[in-house]
Amino acid sequence: MKVLVTGSNGLLGQKLIALLQQQPNVELIATSRGTNKLTALFPAVRFVPLDVTNRQQVQQVLAQEKPTHLLHTAAMTNVDECELNQTECWLQNVTAVQHLVEACEQHHIHLLHVSTDFVFSGQEGPLTEDAVPAPVNYYGQSKLAAEQLVKQCRTPWTILRTVLVYGVAHEYGRTNIVLWVRDSLRAGKHIKVVDDQFRTPTLAEDLAQGCWLAAQHSATGIFHISGREMLTPYQMALQTADFFQLDSSLIEQVNATSFTQPARRPARTGFIISKAEQELGYQPHSFREGIALLAQQTASV
């Protein structure tokens, strides 16, 4: 099989490249906007520049490469930026998907699209794949619109929804809750962490594994790919403090009203992942195992 990954410079993209380049019988093409950040890590992986918002470039690259499977990870995922820059959000999260759908139909490519728990209202959770979406912010609206485009694709399609992805990657600017809590407590900082938002946090390596399993099985339809444990960020922070043996009294338990953010967050999401477990053989790490992996990956930091 020939797999093309969009957004290969991002967190999930990097984990997918790391996983897929080890697989026998997989021809891999990494694509991203800008220069390839992974040359030093994976010199043997072929990289093709691709801006998915550019229709002509999408047509050209997919006509040239003709992958059997396309894993679409590129997106604008900063929720507040999406709220404040809605035109750019729509371009990256919806228009780009329209371009990919058109090209996948033309070249008979299986499109696997990564989506989010933020397509849901947050009124209930954990959620199965047939729960009814009702986003409460613009990011969620854009991702739901993209899902609707993917569902209309006339070649095989898969939607892989995920929740609160955490991990470390090469030259990746954004932090995650585990490292933020660890580094803040190590510096003796008091931090405020919300205890009224519920999620099933997802290790980036697990999400990459779920995407690969779906591609390997040529599975179609919607799959929920996340961790199993329903936790609040406050509970995640306490687990992080405990793992690194840091002072948890520096962590203040607050609710979401303590923060002023441009975008509203759904209060309760989280996923039931039994479909992915049964149909794909998906087996995620526990949150503590995820912390241990991050500790190992950042041991020199």
CB 15 within 8 A of CB 167: yes
Q: How far apart are CA 147 and CA 169, in angstroms?
A: 27
CB 174 within 8 A of CB 11: yes
Is residue 252 classed as helix, strand or coil in its secondary structure?
strand
pTM above 0.95, yes or no: yes
Q: How far apart are CA 126 and CA 123, in angstroms?
A: 10
At 23, is the pLDDT very low, low, confident or very high (cuts 50, 70, 90)? very high
pLDDT above 90 coverage of the chain, percent: 96
At 149, is the pLDDT very low, low, confident or very high (cuts 50, 70, 90)? very high
Chain segment 38-63, per-residue pLDDT in tens: 999 999 999 999 999 999 999 999 99
- Predicted pLDDT of residue 273: 98
- What's the whole-number mean pLDDT along residues 132-144? 98
Residues 6+ apart with CB under 8 A from 211: 12, 16, 71, 73, 112, 114, 160, 225
pLDDT above 70 coverage of the chain, percent: 100
Q: How many CB atoms lie within 10 A of CB 228?
A: 18
At 172, is the pLDDT very low, low, confident or very high (cuts 50, 70, 90)? confident
* Six token digits for residue 120: 């849901």
- Predicted pLDDT of residue 174: 80
Is residue 126 classed as helix, strand or coil in its secondary structure?
coil
Domain range annotation of the chain: 2-168+201-227+272-285
CB 36 within 8 A of CB 14: no
- Predicted pLDDT of residue 97: 98
Q: What residues form DSSP beta bridges with 222?
A: 159
Average pLDDT, the chain: 97
Determine the topology of domain 2-168+201-227+272-285 in CATH. Rossmann fold (3.40.50)
Q: How far apart are CA 62 and CA 42, in angstroms?
A: 22
Backbone dihedral region for residue 246 (phi beyond 0: left; psi -120 to 50: alpha; all else: beta): beta
Closest to 269 (Cα-Cα) out of 51, 115, 152, 62: 115
Q: How far apart are CA 181 and CA 229, in angstroms?
A: 19
Q: Which one-letter amino acid corresponds to residue 235?
A: Q
CB 199 within 8 A of CB 117: yes
Q: How far is CA 193 from CA 54, 189, 263, 301, in A?
A: 39, 12, 17, 23
Chain segment 237-285, per-residue pLDDT in tens: 999 999 999 999 999 999 999 999 999 999 999 999 999 999 999 999 9
- Asked whether residue 301 carries a pLDDT value surpassing 70, the answer given is no
- Predicted pLDDT of residue 173: 76
Residues 6+ apart with CB under 8 A from 60: none
